[in-house]
Every structure is written in C-alpha cells, then in structure tokens.
Structure 1
Amino acid sequence: MFKSLFQKKQKTTTEHVLAPINGQIADMEQVPDPTFAQKMLGDGLAVIPSDGTVSSPIDGEIVQLFPTKHAVGIRGKSGMELLIHIGLETVSMNGEGFTAHVRQGQKVKAGDPLINVDLEQVKNKAAHTITPVVITNMDAVASIEKRTVTDAVRGETVMMEVKMKA
C-alpha cells in the first residue's frame, strides 16, 4: 500500500502525427513488404497516396534524408523518430522522380513540404506507391492510438496520437 502511494507516475509527452501525403490510410500489416508488415523497423500506419507531395507530419528536425530521396527521417520535439518511406523498392530508382525540399539538420513544421514524387514513375519502376510512416524508436513509446479514418488529407488528418515516455 505505501509503495503505491509513493511511486512516481511516469510522465509522457503526446505528439500528433499528421498525414504526410493525401490518400488512403492503411494498417501497417497491409503493406506488401514483410519489413514493414511485420513491424521490423517499428510500428505506425501507411498511406496509399493520391498525389506526390510529401509534407512533414510533425514539428521537428530532419535527421536523415536518403541520397535517393525515397525516404526521410524526422525527430520530433518529444524525441519520437519517424521514418517516411515513399513507395516500396523505390531505392532502386536512384532518386529519379524524387525532388527533395529539405536537407539533413533542417528544422521543419508540420505541413512543410519535404519531397515531391512522380507517382507515375513509382508505379512504373517500383513495387508499390504505398508510403509507410514508421515510429522507429518504439522503446521510447508509451502508447500509440491509431486513428480509424481512411481518407487522409496531408497536413490536416491526425493519423496517430503517440505518447512518448519522459
């Protein structure tokens, strides 16, 4: 009894992850790639895009921009680390069809443009256009509430509410 009275409550910080691209939200298990579907890199949601503008889903800092511009890593103010991976097997496109608007170390706000992608090129040259949004530091996550909406509006639709451990 006394122990529970004196235990400190674990503090959490909440981040809202906005849709980075317009389209249909899908569960991670629906991504046709085992690395994402089996959550080997972390948990999250994916978007089947309807256009090619990718924006920041959170306020934070660009911690990695892949040379092929097919993926970008962002660290939020809470310490949450997100990977946005545009399409599947798009690394083989060697940056063709991708235009980056950010650089590593740059601060971004939710809704800021990150990358433009030619979806037709991705459809023709890669495995799929589906875009996983993955929390890569799950050990720092207290909980994730995934929203059940299906239509995502870039920079507006809250896809996930993530509580980070203090």
Structure 2
Amino acid sequence: MFGFLKKSYELLAPVTGKAIDLSQVPDEVFAQKMAGDGVAIDSTGDTFVAPADGNLTMIFKTNHAFAMTLDNGAEVLVHIGLDTVELQGEGFERLATEGSDVKAGTPIVRVNRDFIKEKGYSLITPILLTNPDAIKEMSAVKDINVEAGKNKVIEYKTK
C-alpha cells in the first residue's frame, strides 16, 4: 500500500573503470540478461571489492566471480571478465574468505591484468542482481568512469 515509502538501495562499483550498459557486453548471456540485470564495467583496476555490505556467499574456485547475499535479500554476482573461467584461476588472487560478512569496499579478488590480457581475455565485468523476483525496480549508470568502492553503479528497490 505504501510502496512509495520503500527504501532504495545502491551497489557501488566493485572495480575502477568505465560503466557500460549490459547490452554492450560481447557475451550473449550477459547482454541478454539471462543471468540477471545490472551493469558492466570495462575495468582498469586490478582489485575487485564488495559492492555493498552483505555475506560473501560464494567465491568460485577459479576466483573469476563472486556472489553476495545482502541483508535486504538481494543477490549480487560480480563476474570478473568474460570467459575467464577458462584460466582455471591463473591470474586471480583471492583476498577474502567465502562465507564471511563484508562491508562495501572490502577487497575480494585481485587480478594480474597483464597476464589475463596477454592470454586474450577481456576484463569487462558484469555486476548483476540475480534474483529479479525480489527486485521491484532498478536503474544503472552507464558511460561514466567509476572508482571501486566509491561510486554508485546501481540503484534498486526490493519488493
């Protein structure tokens, strides 16, 4: 009844770079929002941080992606690069512990940018809300430079 009173939440940039619309990501799964809705960052940084306060529910064994569950029920996926799972963890360093509670800006993964680029992989990083049934509305920035842990990239409301 009083939906207009619902609090809005935000996700901060998990890495420094340029925010781009998901439709611009050269990977159909992300571009067509099959894995969730959000934004991507064409990253220039090497340290990936938590985009919000919450529980670090999963860090993929190859360290190329991590998932969080936030206190408001939102589920977030940060996928570092495109097809980087194929590197089998090479070029990725885990900085946080799976299952721990973290604050926005907490370092989670560091990458060796030169190594990943030399292997021919893109470091475009999708940041997705993966449980759309719990999200009422969402908006994302695009075409602006953002700094890890400092700039808002997604604003959303829960149902």
TM-score, normalised to structure 1's length?
Answer: 0.90
Check conservation: 2:62, 2:88, Cα contact below 8 A.
yes
Candidates 10, 13, 20, aligned match of 1:19: 13
Is 1:35 the equivalent of 2:18?
Answer: no
Is 1:79 the equivalent of 2:61?
Answer: no
The structure having more radius of gyration, on CA atoms, is 1
Worse-superposed segment, 135-144 or 10-19: 10-19
> Aligned partners of 2:135, 2:54: CA distance in 1, in Å?
17
Check conservation: 1:21, 1:49, Cα contact below 8 A.
yes
Alignment correspondent of 2:60: 66
Per-residue deviation, 1:126 = 4.5
Alignment correspondent of 2:109: 115
Candidates 98, 102, 114, aligned match of 2:96: 102
> Aligned partners of 1:111, 1:125: CA distance in 2, in Å?
28
Q: Give a deviation string over 1:130-153, Cα, whole Å, max 9, x none.
A: 000011001110001223461011
Per-residue deviation, 1:53 = 0.5
Q: Where does structure 1 lack aligned partners over 5 or more consecutive residues?
A: 1-7
> Aligned partners of 1:13, 1:105: CA distance in 2, in Å?
26
Tell me the SS of whatever aligns to 1:48.
strand
The count of aligned residue pairs is: 158
Is 1:151 the equivalent of 2:145?
Answer: yes
Tell me the SS of whatever aligns to 2:148.
coil
> Aligned partners of 2:35, 2:145: CA distance in 1, in Å?
24
- The AA in structure 2 aligned to 1:23 is G
> Aligned partners of 1:12, 1:136: CA distance in 2, in Å?
20
Q: Where does structure 2 lack aligned partners over 5 or more consecutive residues?
A: none
Tell me the SS of whatever aligns to 1:114.
strand
Q: Give a deviation string over 1:28-84, Cα, whole Å, max 9, x none.
A: 001100000000011000001112110111000011110000000011111111100
> Aligned partners of 2:91, 2:117: CA distance in 1, in Å?
11
> Aligned partners of 1:38, 1:149: CA distance in 2, in Å?
19
Q: Percent identity?
A: 37
Tell me the SS of whatever aligns to 1:139.
helix
Alignment correspondent of 1:142: 136
Following TM superposition, where does structure 1 have runs of at least 4 consecutive aligned residues deviating by more than 4 angstroms? Answer: none
Alignment correspondent of 2:39: 45
Tell me the SS of whatever aligns to 2:81.
coil
Candidates 150, 155, 159, aligned match of 1:161: 155
Q: Give a deviation string over 1:94-124, Cα, whole Å, max 9, x none.
A: 1111111112210000000000011112212
TM-score, normalised to structure 2's length?
Answer: 0.94
> Aligned partners of 1:117, 1:143: CA distance in 2, in Å?
32
